[in-house]
Structure 1
């Protein structure tokens, strides 16, 4: 039981740190977007690399923030039954859903994203625009980080579920409305 508790706390500490970094990146995205619009319309000039930088930042916020969002129960979902279930009922649903749906989905994504990243890295892919950002494999590599962070959060969710099923209801997932 102690190992499960340490697993949950370790993974969620990592995803909390990443979530805080992503929050700062969100501010950076807004500032870079503002700079892009300002230089384009106020200074009548255009920097392709700046436009691409804000798109990159926005993409990174989404993919790197997914595990934190999952951890904090921030995804929108329509549940008719889950919210009314007991903590043990929710634990069973979370455990089964993670094993049956999340983990196989992440396995498919890992294989697909690994090829996507590898091909980009081998080609040293850069922007198709002459003055765009180089090293697009970095952005594509973030997809693998997404898979890793969500996989870890799935492990934490399964560990939480097992803890709840063993009587530790303080580890229970809270329904989205409560």
Structure 2
């Protein structure tokens, strides 16, 4: 593989590794938010109206920012009827073909994410609840997560092509 592609793959892997490791800790933030809500309600009798939405936002950030890292670690779920019996080179060829569909899907999703985020910022979109938070921060995070997943998918495509050629990118 050309040096530029190898550099791209290594850079994307490094970025997604850092962001993915950061995202792992968001589960503790979500747990702390839910614990605060429970303690507030049980000990002080004061319900907190922002907890459910905030924990949903944290969960969304957790899996969208961590998705690319999960792909990098090959931790995604696969339909493993025949895949597990394939040789590594055959898997790489299969993955090189099927990942094109994933890239197409992520491009469409990213395009929709940009449109939705732009709308949310332009019109100060708020959620229709008692707390009524603005939605642009979570939409920015969601769009960023989709973009990182797209970059990781492209990097994975290059890795699969290199593996199929018998010259893996280390």
Q: Same fold (TM over 0.5)?
A: yes
Q: How does 1:1-178 map to 2 (within 5 A)?
A: 1=1, 2-99=3-100, 101-133=101-133, 135-169=134-168
- Preserved CA contact (<8 Å) 2:159 2:168: no
Q: What do you get for the CA RMSD once the two structures are aligned? A: 1.8
TM-score, with structure 1 as normaliser: 0.86
Q: Which runs of 5+ in 2 are unaligned?
A: none
Say if 1:170 and 1:139 are closer, same or farther in 2 by CA, change over 3 A: closer
- Preserved CA contact (<8 Å) 1:48 1:129: no
CA distance in 1, matches of 2:77, 2:157: 20
CA distance in 1, matches of 2:131, 2:108: 34
Q: Which runs of 5+ in 1 are unaligned?
A: 172-178
CA distance in 1, matches of 2:41, 2:52: 10
TM-score, with structure 2 as normaliser: 0.89
Alignment size in residue pairs: 169
